[in-house]
Amino acid sequence: MPIQLSDASFTYPNGTPAVENVNLTIGDGERVAIVGQNGAGKTTTVKMMNGLLRPTSGTVSVDGELTADRSAADIAKSVGYVFQNPDDQIFGSDVQGELEYMPKYYRWDAVKRTERVKRAAMMTGIGHFMQLNPNDLPFAIKKFVAIGAILVGECRYVILDEPTAGLDGRGLKLLNRMIDQLGADGIGVITITHDMRFVADTFDRVVAMAHRTVIADGDVHDVFADDSVMREAKLKRPEVSQLARDLGLSDTALRLGDVAALVP
């Protein structure tokens, strides 16, 4: 069952309108990147998807049920949210404990707990650090601990807020492998990111936001080829894509492989 926002709007209690009339459907196992400049309304939109915020008008449903009728803890079982800064999320004194927090909260038996923790550790590449204090780990590894602590649950969608920030090439590779694995498991991945290369390399569907609402939603090639959308959302194409345009090779090439294929 999809995540569905219908004319969803949100105004913060201090009166700041953050999101206005967003219509968006994200299906099972879909990969979607939400992009747009600071303040466009991206974070508020994804927080409505997992029940951290409820729309002040319009509706949001997850699994066919309105979030307004469900507790945040219940929605979080279906839609996991990984914070941008792992320090806002991690509180365990060792990685093992951090990963076991959710299984204990759900009172899973030891067999299931061990199996889920092992799998989450494997997917996030943190198996060697289980006995360490997350605060003693480098930032990039801490990020994967934060992701693992969410993946250990059985959510069918995971929201990744700026996952590439602070990652080196190795971390990026691991992140992409993990996202592929999530896709193979039928788990939807929704990301908020300012990293357009990550969007081009990893996502097929892009939702561009500006002025508190969605201004484009479609295939990454089409969205990135649209000058007016790029301008309005204040987005910069990945360098390789801009180069292909500037050289007159292609308006839609996005990835290095696309451009390489055009050069005789």
- The dihedral region occupied by 184, where left means phi > 0, alpha psi between -120 and 50, and beta the remainder, is alpha
Q: Which residues pair with 158 in a beta bridge?
A: 80, 189
**Per rule CB under 6 A, is residue 44 in the interface with ligand ATP?**
yes
Residue range at the interface with ligand ATP (CB under 6 A); choices 41-49, 113-121, 138-146, 181-189: 41-49
Residue 249 tokens, joined: 């090779």
**Per rule CB under 6 A, is residue 55 in the interface with ligand ATP?**
no
102-121 footprint of ligand ATP as x/- string (CB under 6 A): --------------------
Residue range at the interface with ligand ATP (CB under 6 A); choices 23-31, 40-48, 144-152, 200-208: 40-48
CA distance 171 to 139: 11
Residue of the chain from 3, 5, 18, 214 that contacts ligand ATP (CB under 6 A) = 18
Q: Are 137 and 125 in contact (CB under 8 A)?
A: no
Residue range at the interface with ligand ATP (CB under 6 A); choices 31-39, 70-78, 103-111, 151-159: 31-39
**Per rule CB under 6 A, is residue 39 in the interface with ligand ATP?**
yes
**Per rule CB under 6 A, is residue 12 in the interface with ligand ATP?**
yes
Task: Please state whether beta strands 157-161 and 79-82 pair in parallel, antiparallel, or not at all (unpaired).
Answer: parallel
**Closest to 206 (Cα-Cα) out of 79, 36, 22, 3:** 36
For ligand ATP, the binding residues (CB under 6 A) are: 12, 14, 16, 18, 36, 38-44
